[in-house]
Amino acid sequence: MVEHQPPVGEVPLAALTRAEIAGLEPLLQVRRMEVEARLDEAALAAPADAEQLAQVVRNLLENAVRHGREGGRVVVSAGAGETGGQRAGVVLAVADDGPGIPAEHIPRLTERFYRVDAGRSRSAGGTGLGLAIVKHIVNRHRGRLVIESEEGAGAVFRVWLPGRLAAARRQPRAAA
């Protein structure tokens, strides 16, 4: 089973994130929302599975767009980061400007089928599985998911993953 096998390969987070943003363009237009991307081209998740990380980015972006303020903004970033000041790696963060999440719900958000507001989630198109899938994939990648929110001030979902910043490509030296 793939879930018990560690992933292999390297995934450039900037390119992966841009592709997922492009795929969400129809939903962004319907909700009249903008995405601000702050992406470090050198951020590589490794070891990583590109298809699974695309699912993480897609789920987090869809949640931010569906639960963010209509006509609002989603900020997505990717770059170097640490987890608890201990392990260097890369961090993907998705922030929305929606109503925020009451503190008592945050610990349960990654439970399957858990919804803060079932009626609103259904009308927004949610199944209650997205964050459970995100947590499962992040765990398989030996990463960490942190959710921060304040009522009335939106939410930020941060995913720390093992990885690094790619070394700058050397420019060929001009012949003398």
Q: What CATH number has the domain bearing residue 30?
A: 3.30.565.10
Range of the domain at 157: 2-165
Whether residue 108 is contained in a domain is answered as yes
pLDDT digits (tens, 9 = 90+) for 2-37: 566 789 999 999 999 999 999 999 999 999 999 999
Whether residue 172 is contained in a domain is answered as no
CB-side exposure of 93: number of CA atoms within 13 Å? 21
pLDDT on residue 70? 94
pLDDT on residue 118? 52
Average pLDDT of the residues in 39-53? 96
pLDDT digits (tens, 9 = 90+) for 66-83: 999 999 999 999 999 876
Whether residue 121 is contained in a domain is answered as yes
**Helix-helix angle 13-23:50-67, to 10 degrees:** 50
Whether residue 170 is contained in a domain is answered as no
**Domain count for the chain:** 1
Q: How far is CA 80 from CA 12, 60, 126, 140, in A?
A: 12, 19, 31, 20
CB atoms within 10 A of CB 150: 12
Residue labelled with tokens 């079932």: 118
Cβ neighbors of 92 (< 8 A, separation 6 or more) are 13, 17, 56, 57, 60, 76, 77, 78, 158, 159, 161
Residue 168 pLDDT greater than 60, yes or no = no
Alpha carbons 72 and 10: distance in angstroms, whole number: 33
Q: How far is CA 79 from CA 110, 120, 141, 175, in A?
A: 24, 33, 17, 35
pLDDT on residue 120? 47
Alpha carbons 174 and 176: distance in angstroms, whole number: 6
Whether residue 139 is contained in a domain is answered as yes
Whether residue 175 is contained in a domain is answered as no
pLDDT digits (tens, 9 = 90+) for 72-129: 999 999 999 876 666 789 999 999 999 998 888 888 888 887 766 654 444 455 566 8
Whether residue 85 is contained in a domain is answered as yes
pLDDT on residue 92? 97
Whether residue 152 is contained in a domain is answered as yes
State pTM to two decimals: 0.85
